[in-house]
Amino acid sequence: MRQLYAFLLATGFSGAVSAQAYQPDFDPGKLKGPASGPANEVMVLGSPHLSYFPQTFDPATLRGLEDRLAAWRPDMISIETLSGTQCDHVRRYPGRYKDTVETYCWDPAPARAATGLDVPAATAQAEQLLASWPANPSASQRRRLAALFLAGGERASATVQWLRLPQAERRAGDGLDDKLVELLDKLKDRRDESYLIAARLAARLGHEQVFAMDDHTADRMVADEKAWGEAIMKAWNNPASNKRRAAGDAIKTKLGTPEEVLAAYRAYNAPEEMRLAHQGDWGAALEEPSPQRFGRQYVGYWETRNLRMAGNIRDAMTPRPGSRMLVVVGASHKGYLEAYLHRMHDVRVVDTAPVLK
């Protein structure tokens, strides 16, 4: 072995050997601060996508989960959706982001027509309004802020304002026309965890908005979509994926009571869920054997997306040191976000298990 190592050194392979052996000494996750004062806390709630739940699912069964999250008392809530400003950005690059816009971005044209404001202008006005927001805003001010959020592409935050209005004040006016009122009435009941969990909880806790933290700037148009899709699907056909899928299907048959819904969320947030997700998805994709290395391209996209999501979460907390952030996100993101956020100096990741008891 010593002779082999000496040969590698002599023939120029030392870089490859040292690259595999090298471990960076600097670890931000071990250098937590500050020494005094309240810590920044983040709890990542891995959620199934409620749009995939059976039509028989009753959103009222989420209230037990909501009660436990409310008892943790987060100061801020972030959600897995693209911000209006990111959607405005990617619309400028249809050559790369055409599919992204069609899949993930709501067109705020109805709100622009009602308010006369595009996304940048509406976003600026919403920020100015919040900077001087009174302790007890009027119904008119809430309607105005809802209209600005819609024009800025922030539908979930607009829904928070709508839910905070008394029923009699949920009407047109102050920038909201009849079409936008109809939209908000639908959004408050939309089968989506960003609305049925995050927006409702934010309104209950007296928050003024939720924070969009998803990121799709790593999306790319794939030249050979058929080959790419076939390669990834083949990689996903493995025992770990099958086991995880079967477990998810079984959970969906037991959602009739608040306790069954809580049990589902305990399962989605258990360490075993993330282990299976990695084994069946990204771990399998890393070993995908296509000449184009489609699997490794997919893993690169996934890691980049989660890094940027973690950055957006951290950025949202920056103006409020010592705050608690609840992240409501698809369960597959939970492990990555917790790992990335843990490496930040001023972030403490909170375990969901005690909260979901």
pLDDT digits (tens, 9 = 90+) for 256-301: 999 999 999 999 999 999 999 999 999 999 999 999 999 999 999 9
Average pLDDT over residues 246-262: 94
120-140 in b/e form (b: 16+ CB < 10 A) is eebbebbeebeeeeeeebebe
What is the predicted pLDDT for the residue at 10? Answer: 52
List Cα–Cα distances, 143 to 13, 30, 160, 175, 240, in angstroms. Answer: 66, 46, 11, 7, 48
Q: Is the pLDDT of residue 7 over 90?
A: no
Q: Is the pLDDT of residue 1 over 60?
A: no
Q: Is the pLDDT of residue 18 over 80?
A: no
pLDDT above 90 coverage of the chain, percent? 92
What is the predicted pLDDT for the residue at 4? Answer: 47
Model confidence band, residue 221 (pLDDT cutoffs 50, 70, 90) = confident
Cis check for the bond before 108: say yes or no (omega within 30 of 0). no
pTM score, whole prediction? 0.92
pLDDT digits (tens, 9 = 90+) for 117-146: 999 999 999 999 999 999 999 999 999 999
What is the predicted pLDDT for the residue at 234? Answer: 97
Largest CA distance in the chain: 84
Residue 357: CB atoms within 10 Å: 8
pLDDT digits (tens, 9 = 90+) for 314-356: 999 999 999 999 999 999 999 999 999 999 999 999 999 999 9
pLDDT digits (tens, 9 = 90+) for 54-93: 999 999 999 999 999 999 999 999 999 999 999 999 999 9
